[in-house]
Amino acid sequence: MLSDISPLRKVNHDASPLSSYELARERLHVSAIPDSLPCREDEFEEISGYLESALQEGTGTCIYISGVPGTGKTATVLEVIRGLQYRSEQEDEDIPAFDFVEINGMKLTDANHAYSLLWDSLNHDSNNKKKVTPAHALELLETRFSDEQENGKTTVVLMDELDLLVTKKQTVMYNFFEWPNRPHSKLIVVAIANTMDLPERMLSNKISSRMGLKRINFQAYSHQQLHEIVSSRLKGIEAFEQDAVEFAARKVSAVSGDARRALDICRRAVEIVEQQSTKKTVTIGIVNQAIKEMFSSPSVSFIQSLSLHQKLFLVSVMQRVRQIGLAEIEFGDVAQHHLHTCQWNHLEPPTTSDLMRICESLGQARALVVEGGRLDLGMRITLNLSDEDVLMACKADRIVGRLLVNFNK
């Protein structure tokens, strides 16, 4: 089914055949839709079965999917939705027609705009297409999900990057998790986040337990799985030596297990080969060149030039962001984590004033985004570097690298 909609089947349709290098580059692009998603078969079946049952029964439900970036969460859900839509369009009696709405926290300037997006999507058949404010949309949605609907169609909502939809009062997350539980809502919410316990942290255990969330956690890819993912995209293409793909998979799994990074590295390796005068297959040496090139970015070089406690502070920010599930956290929280890390590893701890100066210096260098107008424990800070750049740069440090050994396990 996926091959019918994959851009790989449409590229260069009327042009000359692609070379093995060009085809490899296209298939290795992170935005390319593969014919299948290897290594996520169990998660696919679990999500598909749960959604299929809810659609058949016409009941609302909520699935909470967690896992670090690059582990196939969104891709798996979208493949499940495509399969269900295809079956519905083929008038499969087991799958009634349903509406699908995708809301991405990264694309919203305000979390409350999620209400407007959902209402606009639900109201697509109406003659009145007037835009409504988020506050008005919330009122309309409250009414809709409280009353029995003439239109019996179920709505499936994918809330991606849920971490970015967190608000001070948590009303957006609460409403989207609570609406599916109403008797007549016919609303299925699939929420995707990086943090496993985001609902408990943001809504309290008491509230989240009442919502009966179905939970599925995506583990980081192992090197064997990364090898299988890349190899599946290169099937039938003789552009890589087998041990070159294995080398890339091991390097990425040691840092993050992010499939997107493995694809990026292998794609860059193909570009390096194409630029050479004598064409040959991609070797371990070329993959290693691509890795060094990708991790010798200005950001990585900058982090490597920092002092021990500057690196530790960045790592503390990154770890607390992952643990809490919020992109923006308080200085006091990070400072406490930093000091505990020093204590656990028998390092001379800096003072809080020292850490404040470290935070300021990292803010001035734009490694952090620091809340202006205040210098206290409640000051809000945001990491302005990618986790992978921080991990790669700090792993080379003897002390900080030792602290990161179990970070991704």
pLDDT value of position 354: 92
The CATH architecture that domain 2-36+221-294 belongs to is Orthogonal Bundle (1.10)
pTM, rounded to two decimals: 0.73
**Residues of the chain predicted below pLDDT 70:** 1-17, 92, 124-129, 150-151, 167-168, 201, 204-212, 277, 279, 373, 396, 402, 404-409
Minimal CA–CA distance to 133: which of 144, 141, 143, 125?
141
pLDDT value of position 14: 43
* Domain ranges within the chain, ordered by starting residue: 2-36+221-294, 41-217, 301-403
pLDDT value of position 204: 66
Beta-bridge mates of residue 104: 160
CA atoms of 204 and 149, how far apart (whole Å):
31
Q: What per-residue string of b and e applies to 107-121 under the rule 16 or more CB within 10 Å gives b?
A: ebeebbbbbbbbbbe
For 152-177, how does the pLDDT look when each residue is reduced to its tens digit (9 = 90+)?
A: 789 999 999 887 787 667 788 889 99
Beta-bridge mates of residue 261: none
Phi first, then psi: what are they for 38, rounded to 5°?
-70, 155
362 Cβ neighbours under 8 A, 6+ residues apart: 310, 313, 314, 368, 370
pLDDT value of position 159: 94
The 3-class SS string of 187-206 reads EEEEEEECCCCHHHHHHHHH
pLDDT value of position 51: 95
Q: 56 is written with which tokens? A: 């058949």
pLDDT value of position 12: 42
131 Cβ neighbours under 8 A, 6+ residues apart: 116, 120
CATH number of 301-403: 1.10.10.10
* Helical spans, DSSP H, in 123-222: 134-146, 171-178, 198-210
pLDDT value of position 4: 33
Minimal CA–CA distance to 157: which of 201, 120, 184, 194?
120
Name the CATH topology of 41-217.
Answer: Rossmann fold (3.40.50)
Q: 326 is written with which tokens? A: 């919020």
